[in-house]
Amino acid sequence: MKIARIASIALIAGAALALGACATLQRGPVGNAAVPQPTKPVDLNRYAGLWYEIGRYENGFERGCEGVTAQYRLRDDGLIGVLNTCRQGAVDGPEKTSEGKAKIVEGTDNAKLKVSFFGPFYVGDYWVLDHADDYSWSIVGEPSGRYLWLLSRTAQPSPQTRETILNRTRALGYDLTLVRPTQH
């Protein structure tokens, strides 16, 4: 009985260390040492729908992804359904999907969410740092400054829209040299 308990504790500790190591290996450089708090409220009904990733800070879970999209939908239980899709290796590469859910952080005007793709064991921050008034583009980050996503409602936003997104991202303190453009 005692040996089984010790083995269980060792197994749990080993799993926790392995998950921690995986998370550490996926971390990229800090592209913004002073991530600002979101200041614009988010209307979740308008934010829901399909978004195209037009650029990101490279990260382990998206390595090699092109044609990246994110689909958000309001769920009956008050959570937000998330379906991320990418094409592995090329725009016409094999499709890879990841389904998760997000919970709104209270008191943030819907601008901060906690997103989970792997059950309750890993929950990540998702901050809508800025968005167009018409919800045609969005800038998403999180508190460490290691992750950044530039989103648009179209796969090929106009040069003017792209420039607006980049200028606003720079004004928020992000290093644009770390942005990896996403091909569509």
- Return the DSSP state at 32: -
pLDDT for 13 beyond 60: no
Domain extents in the chain: 44-181
Average pLDDT over residues 65-79: 97
- Return the DSSP state at 48: -
Q: What is the DSSP string of 139-178?
A: EEE-TTSS-EEEEESSSS--HHHHHHHHHHHHHTT--GGG
pTM, full prediction: 0.84
The amino acid sitting at 66 is E
Q: Do 154 and 53 touch, CB atoms closer than 8 A? A: no
* Averaged pLDDT score across all residues of the chain: 88
Beta bridge partners of 126: 113
**Separation between Cα atoms, residue 105 and residue 113, nearest integer Å:** 5
Share of residues in the chain with pLDDT > 70 (%)? 85
pLDDT tens sequence across 114-166: 999 877 767 899 999 999 999 999 999 999 999 999 999 999 999 999 999 99
Q: What is the torsional sign of CA 177, 67, 157, 42?
A: negative
Residue 108: phi, psi to the nearest 5? -115, 15
pLDDT for 27 beyond 70: no
- Return the DSSP state at 44: H
- The helix (H) or strand (E) run that includes residue 126 is strand 123-131
What are the CA-CA distances from residue 31 to residues 28, 146, 168 (Å)?
9, 6, 15
Write the class of the CATH domain 44-181.
mainly beta
pLDDT for 25 beyond 50: no
